[in-house]
Structure 1
């Protein structure tokens, strides 16, 4: 395993890259570009934490995270890609997909949630669907987060023991340990069919989350042809003198109890 990236270096570089993401978002908004970034990979590979760092300082009205739930009975009767199309970006928008239509080539295939016919139809249609998106002007980037079996299991056990992250561990996640090779074969086939020139796959080694986040964000910025955008100058006006307005008595409203104040008083009492 490569040496873990030092925390101080990581935090410094992450902040610099996040500032560039803000500039990139401004260009997308002004130029009317449409960007779709797909985050795929094994369970516990670090997709969600990377999305969090990408979106941390971005405007949620411009940069949306799409993480669709299990398809409904109605969804299952529609053309497979149909449930994803409404979430594609309009001009000036970025969509970060926390998993995507590639569910069919991964978990649905391995866990038996789709038929062989549906699976092979997906492999046939996905490249055509993506070429249509790119031909229409969408910038489509696809990232696969790769994690070793040892590190994946370590992260599963860490989640199991952490009540704040326990929700991240599902029965399907745990089963992925027993189906490691099945997922490997499914990923290899998926790459064979869908690693196309118009929308290639980019693999992110993610045993070290710090490295993977930095590498992924730097690469993302390199693939979007953004330019600096001149922003309108904003001047904060002076506050006008107080007029005749009088605030109603505070007891007219339901005030939130001062829980923080209680904690401060308790802490002071202990000192």
Structure 2
């Protein structure tokens, strides 16, 4: 029997065949029972370094302490007129929205906003590619997060055929120069790539499909995306290689455990900015198993 949440969605979906670790598998996302081959491998997929999620009580206590520091950071930004801009990218279901929510949860929403732009309008399609994003940049004292960004042109657009190869190449050439302008203008600029394993993505898609509260997050394009995992990974590698720079480095966060990922992202932000009253003991040290820089870290290599 299909779950009630699955019935809410328009129509049943056929089982798909996908390649996982070189093995072709059949996955019926409408089946409420998660396959054992996904369940057993999800957390450890893509070489994730921990066997268990971070303890919930430890997570809650640490998150609250770090959120207090974020409130201090925001007060400092409003006092000094500082501007912060951070992009969150990653495969579908990597946890971008949850990280952003954890960051902004106790900040003043008047000066901390999130940007999640829809598909470009016909007018926007005729503009400079970066133009609609620049319009959302922070003003003095403002803290802005982007749930996906101009990096759509480095991931979903080339994989799904929404841009030409020439547009993709032009983007890769121009973006490091564009991002240098952001830094040179004094904006505190961060780029986060949330990395998950393929089996974890499948588990999270399955969870969404069968949730009464989150089924709206699942769409037919997610089904198509599941069959293009290798294409997305190739696009990711090209993106990290071509757009990682000293002035705008990619911070890669292994996110099979959302709790650890959220804490490490917040720690990195707090460690990077010299705000008044910063408590370095509370912030703690980064976990080098979870957070690092660039393509080498994303592929599990050192250095």
Instruction: Place the TM-score, normalised by the shorter chain, in its bin.
Output: 0.7 to 0.9
The equivalent residue for 2:66 is: 17
Q: Is the aligned partner of 1:189 residue 2:230?
A: no
**Residue 124 of structure 1 is aligned with which of 146, 156, 173?**
173
Render the CA deviation track for 1:178-205: whole Å, top value 9, x for unaligned: 0001000000000111101001000010
Please give the alpha-carbon distance, in whole angstroms, between the structure 2 residues aligned to 1:163 and 1:174.
19
The equivalent residue for 1:53 is: 102
Please give the alpha-carbon distance, in whole angstroms, between the structure 1 residues aligned to 2:160 and 2:221.
8
Q: Is the aligned partner of 1:62 residue 2:80?
A: no
TM-score normalized by structure 2? 0.74
The equivalent residue for 2:161 is: 112
Q: Is the 1:105–1:190 contact (alpha carbons within 8 Å) kept by the matching residues of 2?
A: yes
Please give the alpha-carbon distance, in whole angstroms, between the structure 1 residues aligned to 2:224 and 2:270.
35
The equivalent residue for 2:205 is: 156
Q: How does 1:4-43 map to 2 (within 5 A)?
A: 4-43=53-92
The equivalent residue for 1:246 is: none
Please give the alpha-carbon distance, in whole angstroms, between the structure 1 residues aligned to 2:217 and 2:56.
24
**Residue 224 of structure 2 is aligned with which of 142, 158, 175?**
175
Structure with greater Cα Rg = 1
Render the CA deviation track for 1:55-84: whole Å, top value 9, x for unaligned: 101111111100000111111111100111
Q: Is the aligned partner of 1:95 residue 2:144?
A: yes
The equivalent residue for 1:142 is: 191
- Unaligned runs of at least 5 residues, structure 1: 230-271
1:58 aligns to what SS in structure 2? Answer: coil
- How far off is 1:4 after superposition? 1.3
Please give the alpha-carbon distance, in whole angstroms, between the structure 1 residues aligned to 2:208 and 2:215.
5
Please give the alpha-carbon distance, in whole angstroms, between the structure 2 residues aligned to 1:160 and 1:167.
8
Please give the alpha-carbon distance, in whole angstroms, between the structure 2 residues aligned to 1:117 and 1:6.
47
Q: Is the 1:33–1:93 contact (alpha carbons within 8 Å) kept by the matching residues of 2?
A: yes
- How far off is 1:170 after superposition? 2.0
Render the CA deviation track for 1:193-232: whole Å, top value 9, x for unaligned: 1101001000010101111111111111111221139xxx
**Residue 257 of structure 2 is aligned with which of 208, 231, 235?**
208
Please give the alpha-carbon distance, in whole angstroms, between the structure 1 residues aligned to 2:187 and 2:241.
23
Please give the alpha-carbon distance, in whole angstroms, between the structure 2 residues aligned to 1:19 and 1:172.
38
How many residues are aligned here? 229
